[in-house]
Structure 1
């Protein structure tokens, strides 16, 4: 029987994943939110699972422990891994006020309103039960909304605020939920001692979680840095980090009651540390696959959770039709609480002037786009089946009632809010392109059309196209090129400050080229991690300056950039420890990347974009100066340390040759001119030499 049960559960999981896969494909075709479609599919599977032949479909049950300790760390880690801490720091006031103050406001508004309204509906619900529900339903789930934001092109800052709030209010919600649940389990007595204990527990979970997450993230980053060029081990270590941090936090809370730590917050912070500090300790080739790895596991987790959410509808002990009015009231109250928790804190923040103003249209979207999902469901399932509160006299359990209204709220946000969010974005004009984006859009179309025309000419010359085919395609893309150039000129004519806009676009493009080639140097280990980060920070700071409307710095060397306190500490630490070898590698890298920028800008200068090419000359002149300065410093170091630099340069040039060797080996293998065994041997030899630290050899 046990073996049959295991087989049926396995078959259930595999079948649900098959349904999820086809649901994903369908969601792409009909342009419909994937998570919403999964819930619909889950509901449709209810009658199917009642048939004897398909009874196995609902055999797999996601228990609260599996959800909390296995799937939740995966979802948290994947969400935080790609967030840049600089963007969080730039918007920390708005994110903090929404994720902490906003969540507390939402939780208590829901609790007080429901405690006041429920008796009118004939339901005597104790205040602590209302507050418990308020804490768990105030946690937002950004999965569906962020995919919509990405598709429609929401402003980057709005996306960061939305995602940052969701990540940290998850931790705040779990901390508040845990405190309230603990009070209920201990008897529900609420006095000054209980209040003080609750405040301490909440603060300890939030701040203790941040400290513990930082420590585990830092330790694992160091460990990953020691096992470079071991793909499987590096990926497994990140998986271990997510679950180790979460589970150890919960164990500390269990054994040391006086010092509780939030597993949610610690996992989020650990992910931020590994995603920002530890990212470049990961072997570059592995890092390219890391994001796909976490996206895959997050996809599996979300797929199972949301499709089972639909199937769970049939397992709730209460009948939805008997609670239509209470459910409607709860949904309205939750919406009101969310609106208050967004408008009130952000309005106060805008008035204070402590952070860049958040437009009213963004506030509307933050209020409407707040979906509920996996975490709310996980928390309600963590409530003990036999939980009791003084004053609860209804014929059903607290858990069944809260599960009913929680799933109802989740379904409303998925079926109504998620589906209508694109229309809300368009109504408030949040999806509109700004001047810079319009310019870059037309620039991209011009470049694409030119590349296609060049390819057409090449294909025709080689005889791949007939004259009729060539002539038809050439006319089509020539017309597209003419239209884009015309549109570009129209944009520039409408904008009185078009000179600044053109300079800004060219400067941003130049900095993008710098980043691209700097990362390529790092990928092939021609620059060490610390020097790479030093240059990358300066490039990103230049980009940030341009986005803030400031000019690109004319002089990089010795320039004091307004870094945040954390970056200032890292930069000072690096400069204090760096020697002439580090300085040579930095300037060599600058020579290479500035040379690449100059070359690409000269090519772009030959293209008719509809504006005067003198703007290219100005930026080319700037990068020529950068190139000469770096070359001069490189030469000075060479004169002083000739023998050492000769040896270093020999190693660095050899790494450039290894790039070519790797491409040749890949080409031979793809043509099946060498066996897999030989291919692996070649690659291992190349990588061992490529990832050797040139500075330790000297």
Structure 2
């Protein structure tokens, strides 16, 4: 009953904030929800300082929610499947090389750059940190969040090829980021001598390639079942079973559930639609769109309410603001170098680097990974820095990426006789 009550409160709050945002603020849904939840949390914190006892009850409700478990083991699979389901597989195929390089080598490069810059910078604030913990922060903050990207960038008016690069990268690099994070965490807990190169390779193959392989099997199997019948009720139920059963199977096989769900969603969306009736397509699309919206609303409300239970001191806030610049610089380099190499063989739009850098939003996955750190590590510091970077990313970058894209596209000279850029 306590779980039901907590979920009911969150849903009521999410619905109320959604109404207020749609009725008065007119912000993109995810941004409006997080902004309202954040402002409400700050107001509650102020009331708590004034000694209002009811605030403690609200904080206790938020504290009972295991954010990492709720997002990583429950909500993420549904939202990634929905994202893959609605992604244009043909366009993604044409952008597969940039997406692959950005989501793998780009994530590794960003992790290293963030870790190195943080390791050098923190002693200036009398907060020296072992390099292994800096690597942990680099691993959890480098992947762009598919939930934030899908909720914001797809409405930002960005050119289609560039949008596919950003969305495709964000759907895949979270799995890479989680594998890197898990590897670094195992080193931090057991020491470098406890982890060999073969064990790291084995972890990557099991998590990443195993997740992709499982997703392929689930996707093609699900598409075959969907194409063999014509009953929208059963077909919607099959997609739901695919996600829930597939996630459970991925957990038991110790493979990447997020990567499996992305692949399954893309294949079902592309292959499963071939013989699907218009009625079934409409019901499946609307079902997953509504489910995705509900989970998005709950997630961003939860992220905003986290300020009630996080210990973010003024010093952590200052370091977090500095980390915003470090993360953006690492994003610029980790995107710029691959684009420079790829541009030798294909042409990109002039604004690709700027949009890819500023559009690399961080979100709930980074917060969830930070919250999963054990208390024996500098958890409060890393969680505080992560939360500041994520809030800046969602509220500032998320609000300005659309106007920035519009400005750059109007500023860009039109050259109809030039080769088609990608």
Select which of 278, 295, 304 maps to 2:298: 304
- Report whether the alignment pairs 1:383 with 2:363: no
The equivalent residue for 1:344 is 337
Change in CA separation of 1:279 and 1:182 when aligned onto 2, cut-off 3 Å: farther
Distance 1:350 1:293 in 2: 40
The equivalent residue for 1:293 is 287
Match of 2:169, SS state, is helix
Equivalent pair of 1:249/1:263 in contact (CA under 8 Å): yes
Distance 1:220 1:121 in 2: 53
Equivalent pair of 2:321/2:389 in contact (CA under 8 Å): no
User: Under a length normalisation based on structure 1, what TM-score does the superposition of the two structures give?
Assistant: 0.55
Equivalent pair of 1:8/1:56 in contact (CA under 8 Å): no
Distance 1:112 1:54 in 2: 40
Select which of 267, 276, 286 maps to 2:261: 267
- Report whether the alignment pairs 1:116 with 2:120: yes
- Describe the superposition over 1:173-202 as per-residue Cα deviations: whole angstroms up to 9, x where unpaired: 1111122222223x12258x6233213312
Give the C-alpha shift of residue 222 in structure 1. 2.1
Equivalent pair of 1:69/1:243 in contact (CA under 8 Å): no
Equivalent pair of 1:153/1:431 in contact (CA under 8 Å): no
**In terms of mean alpha carbon deviation, does 116-125 or 422-431 score higher?**
422-431
The 5-angstrom pairing of residues 482-521 of structure 1 reads none
Select which of 207, 210, 234 maps to 2:209: 207
Select which of 306, 315, 333 maps to 2:309: 315
Equivalent pair of 1:12/1:57 in contact (CA under 8 Å): no
Change in CA separation of 1:149 and 1:140 when aligned onto 2, cut-off 3 Å: closer
In terms of Rg, which structure is larger?
1
Equivalent pair of 1:361/1:430 in contact (CA under 8 Å): no
Give the C-alpha shift of residue 225 in structure 1. 3.0
Distance 2:12 2:87 in 1: 33
- Report whether the alignment pairs 1:326 with 2:323: no
- Report whether the alignment pairs 1:419 with 2:399: yes
The equivalent residue for 1:198 is 200
- Describe the superposition over 1:615-667 as per-residue Cα deviations: whole angstroms up to 9, x where unpaired: xxxxxxxxxxxxxxxxxxxxxxxxxxxxxxxxxxxxxxxxxxxxxxxxxxxxx
Give the C-alpha shift of residue 364 in structure 1. 0.6
Give the C-alpha shift of residue 169 in structure 1. 0.7
Equivalent pair of 1:67/1:378 in contact (CA under 8 Å): yes
The equivalent residue for 1:364 is 354
User: Under a length normalisation based on structure 2, what TM-score does the superposition of the two structures give?
Assistant: 0.89
Distance 1:275 1:165 in 2: 18
Match of 2:347, SS state, is coil
- Report whether the alignment pairs 1:91 with 2:95: yes
| Structure 2 gap ranges (5+) | none
- Describe the superposition over 1:328-373 as per-residue Cα deviations: whole angstroms up to 9, x where unpaired: 221111111101111111111102x1xx311231111100111111
Residues matched between the structures, number: 411
Equivalent pair of 1:245/1:270 in contact (CA under 8 Å): no
Equivalent pair of 1:154/1:430 in contact (CA under 8 Å): no
Equivalent pair of 1:73/1:246 in contact (CA under 8 Å): yes
The 5-angstrom pairing of residues 59-208 of structure 1 reads 59=61, 61-63=64-66, 64-143=68-147, 149-185=153-189, 187-190=190-193, 194-208=196-210
Distance 1:431 1:85 in 2: 30
- Report whether the alignment pairs 1:42 with 2:62: no
Select which of 363, 367, 379 maps to 1:373: 363
The 5-angstrom pairing of residues 235-254 of structure 1 reads 235-253=236-254
